[in-house]
Amino acid sequence: MLEIMDTTLRDGEQTSGVSFSASEKLTLAKLLLEELKVDRIEVASARVSEGELQAVQQITEWAKDHNYLDKVEVLTFVDGGVSLDWMEKAGAISQNLLTKGSLNHLTHQLKKTPEQHFKEIAEIFKKASEKGFINNIYLGRLE
């Protein structure tokens, strides 16, 4: 089965000069899910800003009322659960955990062993599961 995940609301804002207001994000979320019938939408990166939190809250409130909440996803990080707390405040239930993992990145930037990183990833998944969240993962390359 093929699923389509749209990242316009998160990744699109990384384009120079592109910034959506909360109402624009809500309108785009509605269009993506109702009109275009995409399977999933990634709406934000956790912890970005108060404005982003408010935008995601609006999207999740609408999505919950229209039976789309499980299709609204947030990019999260291996950060001891800070992203999960942000998601909870935002009303989201699906995380896309970014697990940057090349050996170079782990040893030089994160100052971790692969074993430490895998343990932290497992802890995030456990915390998310305890909160009733849906877990998705972006795997990094381990060289």
Across all residues in the chain, what is the average pLDDT? 89
CATH code of residue 67: 3.20.20.70
In percent, the amount of the chain with pLDDT more than 70 equals: 91
Dig out the tokens for 11 from the structure.
């990744």
Segment 8-25, tens digit of pLDDT: 888 655 666 667 889 999
Segment 26-46, tens digit of pLDDT: 999 999 999 999 999 999 999
CB 25 within 8 A of CB 9: yes
Dihedral through CA 81, CA 64, CA 96, CA 50, nearest 10?
-60
Per-residue pLDDT at 101 exceeds 80 = no
Number of structural domains, the chain? 1
In percent, the amount of the chain with pLDDT more than 90 equals: 63
Per-residue pLDDT at 141 exceeds 80 = no
What's the domain range around 98?
A: 5-139
